[in-house]
Amino acid sequence: MLEVKNVGLTLKGDEGEVQVLKDVNFTLEDKKIYVMTGPNGGGKSVTAKTIMGIHQPTSGRILLDGVDITHKEIFERARMGIGYAFQQPARFKGIKVRELLEIASGKNASADTCDHLHDVGLCAQDYLDREINASFSGGEVKRIEIATILARDLKLAIFDEPEAGIDLWSMQRLTETFEKMNKKYNTTILIISHQERILDLAAEVIMVAEGTVSEITSREKILGEISRLDSDCRCRRDCSRGGKAIAGCDR
């Protein structure tokens, strides 16, 4: 359903242009759950934002159900059924939880709204009429962001580190929620995560490192092969100018 073909992305950083993605290739099939993982700074969030249209690729193409969406705007992609829950969600001062969920679903708050809050471990009575201001904890903001994605009827839902700030008690419910969303609404789900528990949900694991997809594989293979990264070895080697051997690096 989603094809990412040879995607490259250059962004302007503090010290000029940086190539953050290079030659990214992967395909997501209909109705499956995928987990994207990899080292910090490897390019997972940037890949997700490029699929959502927050960044426009510098090279390559992105197709949704065969339609080229490479140069479509964010709102067009949203209309076509792509949703993205940010790693660090915005706090919408001056708006109530109920209103935010109504904007997301395009409907008046209903029993479904209560279900969506329940699915992220929030009690609707306590939250619906609360304004999303600074008094919300990080975990609460994160859960409400996830609920806005549940409230939409999506073809592809992307969750960026949904576990961040979510307590142990709610993690179980959250994993069940992803499975339910996938089965009930036939939504293809891409979860960016560092958690073994989330990796358990994956039909396939997409490994992103150093700005590209280094591997598409199974959970077992990823967990069996967590070894030292090339970049780590190169950095240590350059810094110590060929000094001591570094465990896990072939010299």
Ligand X SMILES: Nc1ncnc2c1ncn2[C@@H]1O[C@H](COP(=O)(O)OP(=O)(O)OP(=O)(O)O)[C@@H](O)[C@H]1O
Binding site for ligand X (CB under 6 A): 11, 13, 18, 20, 40-46, 87
If the CB atoms of residues 21 and 97 are measured against Mg ion, the closer one turns out to be: 21
Partner that binds at residue 11, options Mg ion, ligand X, none, CB closer than 5 to 8 Å by kind: ligand X
Q: Smallest distance, Å, CB 248 to ligand X?
A: 20
Tokens (6 digits) for 154: 């999506």
Residue with tokens 């992307």: 158
Q: Smallest distance, Å, CB 93 to ligand X?
A: 24
Q: Does 45 bind Mg ion (CB under 5 A)?
A: yes
Q: Does 182 bind Mg ion (CB under 5 A)?
A: no
Q: Does 87 bind Mg ion (CB under 5 A)?
A: yes
If the CB atoms of residues 40 and 227 are measured against ligand X, the closer one turns out to be: 40
Answer for the pair 98, 66: CB distance below 8 angstroms, yes or no: no
Q: Where are the alpha helices (DSSP H) in the chain?
A: 44-52, 74-79, 97-105, 111-119, 124-127, 138-150, 168-185, 196-199, 219-224, 230-239
For residues 119-158, one letter each, b for 16 or more C-beta atoms within 10 angstroms of the residue's C-beta and e for the rest, the string is: bbbbebeebbeeebeeebeebbbbbbbbbbbbbbebbbbb
If the CB atoms of residues 45 and 175 are measured against Mg ion, the closer one turns out to be: 45
Q: Does 88 bind Mg ion (CB under 5 A)?
A: no
If the CB atoms of residues 45 and 175 are measured against ligand X, the closer one turns out to be: 45
Q: Does 195 bind Mg ion (CB under 5 A)?
A: no
Q: How far apart are CA 248 and CA 164, in angstroms?
A: 29
Q: Which residues lie near Mg ion (CB under 5 A)?
A: 44-45, 87
